[in-house]
Amino acid sequence: MSGGPVALAKLNTETLEGFLSACGSLFERSPWVAARTWRRRPFASLEALHGELVSTMENASAEEKVSLIRSHPDLVGRIAEAAGLSEISAREQAAAGLDSLSAEEVTLFRAYNREYRDTFGFPFVICARENRKEAILRAFPERLGHTREQEIVAALAEIAKIAWLRLRDAVTEA
């Protein structure tokens, strides 16, 4: 199902393979979320589909949740610099202005990424499409004050936002 967005009505009749083609990349490098959700078709709306996807994520084991968070790249990290981001992650980071940082900003992002990863054991996740670089830089110190449990919840909430925006790009109501 490559090309453009797929209609929800068609998605509701797809095989697992077709469903994964449309929805497998909604959760960064974690097609298992869509695979587990496929069985709950049909979905009445994009909101209902998103709700089921998020429910799958929330009902995953603690290890799976942390693995999902770890599947996200650092913002302005080495993967981004080496052009190793997924195409969709690269577009999302660019939308936040993370592809045009000053040398000082790059240094600041690297320092925050390192401190955050050292503190929590996973990368900082924020919905880049809903934020600009300035807001992201302000969010780092605030979230560094959280407990690991609070940050798991915060990261999963951000992942849900990312998945919603990706879903709206991949699937139409019509």
Catalytic positions, please? 72
The values of phi and psi at residue 142, to 5°, are -60, -50
Query: Closest Cα to residue 23, out of 47, 49, 42, 48?
Result: 49
SS3 of 99, please? coil
State the residue for tokens 């109501």.
Answer: 173
Four-point Cα dihedral 88, 45, 12, 90, nearest 10: 0
Contact 155, 147 (CB under 8 A): no
Four-point Cα dihedral 10, 16, 17, 19, nearest 10: 40
Burial 15-44 (b: 16+ CB within 10 A, else e): eeeebbbbbbbbbbebebbbebbbeeeebe
CA distance 156 to 111: 23
